[in-house]
Structure 1
Amino acid sequence: MSRLPLVDANSAPAASKPLVEQVQRNNGFLPNLVATLANAPAALEAYLTVGEINSRSGLTLAEREAVQITAAGIHGCGFCVAGHSKIATLKAQLDAPVVTALRDGTAVPDARLEAVAVFTRAVIAHRGAVPDDALAAFRAAGFSDANALEVVLGVSLATLCNFANNLAGNDLNPELASFAWHGLAAAQA
């Protein structure tokens, strides 16, 4: 049960109502993350705005989802691991072994996505000050300096929603139940 109120279009602050309605229309349900963030209109607006900006980055949808799942796993946010596993599976069309590896923090059986996951872990572990060899390895995998900054963008988005969910203690929506996650199988860097 959430430690913070879950609001809907009827109970949300006035500034959040149109955003809540938009999310509900787009998803067919109101994710508990959004129902929590709606308590603070600026937080909800930031989440949706940064999410839209992130979607325009040079990283593919699969690469962006690799960042989100990796960060959520490190941050211990089962809600976001589940939500982004659903997107990775249904929208990015990632194979189950790839999604499982991202969720478990183990070697990803796709070289590009493995490079994204490793670099994401380095960005988080070193608070952005990744070692030279980590940046060189990311570049050697075919990524640009712009892509490195886009990983940082993705981590910033993940941090907002992961920490909000962790603060709230949000339960999974039934629509995400089949993607439930209960922790890392391997230690994170």
Structure 2
Amino acid sequence: MSNHTVHTIQTAPEQSKPVLERLQRTFGLVPNIAGAMAASPTLINGFIGLFERVHASRLSEPQIQTLLLTNAVTNRSEWAAAFHTALALQQGVSRADVDAIREARLPADGNLAALSALARTLIDRRGRIDCADEKRFIDAGFGAAQILDVIAVVAASTITNYTGSVTQPPLEAQFAEYAWQAPTR
């Protein structure tokens, strides 16, 4: 059981309210993970700045959602895995590719597989990749600078994933069909 409050716009600290209002406009709801983050204006404001920049990067929304779902599964973040399953499907990532990521496999789509593999490698190796990892990513059609965009997505999702693991926010009803449980180790 978590001792953390999931804030609403009304109950959040004043410095957190503008972020929750922006998320309300973006998603039509304040995601429970953001409500949990709102207890720390430092965290929620740092997160939103990076979040907005990630979604304005050179990566497409299906690519970003592939990364976010991969990161959630790799970090064993159950709330984020459900949320990003819904968003990945909404952004046109195939059900087969979403299922592969949720099962810690690479998607069949080569472009998405390269992104997913790089993200998983960055997380598993604590940011260290080798020349072969970089070559595989570039051979899939990406530029070397896009590795840095992937790092930004990993950083943004790490905030969400860790917050979810610590605060354990409830999963919203509209994402219940996408619930995911981390396999036991």
Deviation (angstroms), 1:74: 1.0
Deviation (angstroms), 1:8: 1.0
Q: Deviations over 1:135-189 (max 9, x none)?
A: 111111111111111111111011111001100011211121111111259x9xx
Match of 1:147 in 2: 146
Match of 2:26 in 1: 26
Q: Which runs of 5+ in 2 are unaligned?
A: none
Identity of aligned residues (%): 25
Residue pair 1:65, 1:87 contacting (<8 A) in 2 also = yes
Total equivalences in the alignment: 185
Match of 2:43 in 1: 43
1:1-189 to 2 correspondences below 5 Å: 2-90=2-90, 92-184=91-183
Q: What is the rounded CA distance, in whole Å, between the counterparts of 2:131 and 2:53 in structure 1?
A: 27
- SS of equivalent residue, structure 2 residue 108: coil
- SS of equivalent residue, structure 2 residue 76: coil
Residue pair 1:89, 1:99 contacting (<8 A) in 2 also = yes
1:45 corresponds to which letter in structure 2? N
1:136 corresponds to which letter in structure 2? K
- SS of equivalent residue, structure 1 residue 152: helix
Q: Using a 3 Å threshold, how does the CA distance of structure 1 residues 50 and 108 change in structure 2: closer, same or farther? A: same
- SS of equivalent residue, structure 1 residue 16: helix
Q: What is the rounded CA distance, in whole Å, between the counterparts of 2:150 and 2:44 in structure 1?
A: 21
RMSD over equivalenced CA pairs, Å: 1.6
Q: Deviations over 1:2-54 (max 9, x none)?
A: 43111111211111122222222332222110110111112111111111000
Q: Which runs of 5+ in 1 are unaligned?
A: none
Deviation (angstroms), 1:107: 2.7
- SS of equivalent residue, structure 1 residue 129: coil
TM-score by length of structure 1 reads: 0.92
- SS of equivalent residue, structure 1 residue 145: coil
Residue pair 1:103, 1:184 contacting (<8 A) in 2 also = no
Q: What is the rounded CA distance, in whole Å, between the counterparts of 1:26 and 1:110 in structure 2?
A: 28
1:67 corresponds to which letter in structure 2? L
